[in-house]
Structure 1
């Protein structure tokens, strides 16, 4: 399996002649302010057979770019509860998934599993297997109690793609909690350990930092490196970097 890092939380997976993308992003919503990482046309990463979306937040679900670069008929898999809203985007082939219900896309076996969204919206993690190798992509999950169930049902994993920026958000019409809506660097390492991951690839950091609306935590890479020592090999990939497993 060849994995290519895409901006923010996106990854491109290829095995034999089949390719998938998870959470591809090209157009960043203006609400996130100035961005701090380059984005690239989705065509730079090649054609795909299907799109997997963890959830419908604007930094993970970019329907206009999906339509532009992959076509409106491309299969787009989303959590079942998110189907009506996803279809309003104009995509013509939106498919709802439920936890644990595996399906195949060519030689890929894909299973949606637990992921807890920091805003209480429908979200799944994607366990993807091909050629005897298995990865998990967890969107922008919080820490939760399902890690052990995921490991038992779907692990161990060759690579875990986990969010690490511990973003704190402040909406004008919502009581401000001051709490992060996704994993901290230290929690990501702990999750990778429980998932029995052979490698941890951090996602969901660097590009968006626009306080007070969206504020990522500090010293992410240093904290990851410190926490991962002796626990899990850490692979920090930039956009367009490849990883073969």
Structure 2
């Protein structure tokens, strides 16, 4: 069986290889005013491999860039999405779209996809991919919520966790928090107990003025690494630059 691996593309967009299948998460391949990755986009849409499925956690542009992803060579690729993404995906010509609510499952070529809970400014789900003894947890940009503690109880051991860490706050909305902090991501790591964890969603920027007037966030992933050393010392944290592939 091929090794389980992940390649960061940018932000929360990854290629996950598991069970001999390849999945793309939360596609984001373009920019627009106020939405910048803050890091390179390592793989363009024409250079994507053949995908066995796409996971989309919610409909925010930086996680659901379907205007761009509609250029992918096969719009019959299976999409597994939060319910609110379905109309948008169909509008862009994708023909195989499955909405998953928390704890609902689907299967692609021997890989089980389970939607798991999430909480954000809008409806969001997170995902666990499992093939045999390997499992990958992907969190788009969720908050830390108690329901996430059910993941290992219901779905078993997670080997690799991909977690947001920037603790994004929205200043005009009474400084409302919408993404887990580095410390909260470390708490979730202690619950999941993966062998390997990779932070994401930390370089995002709204630009010079936007970062000062609209959002505040922690752009240093080493804060997550350091917090995890304290709370989950058996987990290895890898801060991975876009384009780098790492194996379990």
TM-score by length of 1: 0.88
Selected match of 2:183 from 183, 186, 191: 186
Q: Which runs of 5+ in 2 are unaligned?
A: none
Q: Does 1:223 align with 2:220?
A: no
Note if contact 2:34-2:206 (Cα within 8 Å) is conserved in structure 1: no
Note if contact 2:199-2:238 (Cα within 8 Å) is conserved in structure 1: yes
Please identify, of 235-244 and 40-49, the stretch whose mean Cα deviation from structure 2 is larger.
Answer: 40-49
**Residue number in structure 1 paired with 2:115:** 112
Selected match of 1:82 from 81, 85, 88: 85
Please identify, of 82-91 and 142-151, the stretch whose mean Cα deviation from structure 2 is larger.
Answer: 82-91
Q: Could you tell me how far apart the structure 2 residues matched to 1:109 and 1:50 are?
A: 11
- Matches for 1:86-165 after TM superposition, within 5 Å: 86-117=89-120, 119=121, 121-165=122-166
Note if contact 1:162-1:200 (Cα within 8 Å) is conserved in structure 2: yes
Note if contact 1:29-1:59 (Cα within 8 Å) is conserved in structure 2: no
- In angstroms, what is the RMSD of aligned CA positions? 2.0
Note if contact 2:102-2:117 (Cα within 8 Å) is conserved in structure 1: yes
Note if contact 2:119-2:125 (Cα within 8 Å) is conserved in structure 1: yes
1:182 deviation in Å?
0.3
Q: Secondary structure at the match of 2:166?
A: coil
Q: Does 1:22 align with 2:25?
A: yes
Note if contact 1:48-1:70 (Cα within 8 Å) is conserved in structure 2: no
List, as ranges, runs of 4+ consecutive aligned residues in structure 1 with deviation greater than 3 Å.
Answer: none
**Residue number in structure 1 paired with 2:38:** 36
Note if contact 2:117-2:125 (Cα within 8 Å) is conserved in structure 1: yes
Note if contact 2:34-2:205 (Cα within 8 Å) is conserved in structure 1: no
TM-score by length of 2: 0.87
1:158 deviation in Å?
0.5
**Count of residue pairs the alignment pairs up:** 237
Note if contact 2:165-2:182 (Cα within 8 Å) is conserved in structure 1: yes
**Residue number in structure 2 paired with 1:48:** 51
**1:153-186 residue CA offsets vs partner (Å, 9 max, x unmatched):** 123211111100111224xxxx522132101011
Q: Could you tell me how far apart the structure 1 residues matched to 2:115 and 2:184 are?
A: 21
Q: Residues 50 and 77 of structure 1: is their aligned pair in 2 closer, same or farther, counting only changes over 3 Å?
A: same
**Residue number in structure 1 paired with 2:195:** 198
Please identify, of 229-238 and 135-144, the stretch whose mean Cα deviation from structure 2 is larger.
Answer: 229-238
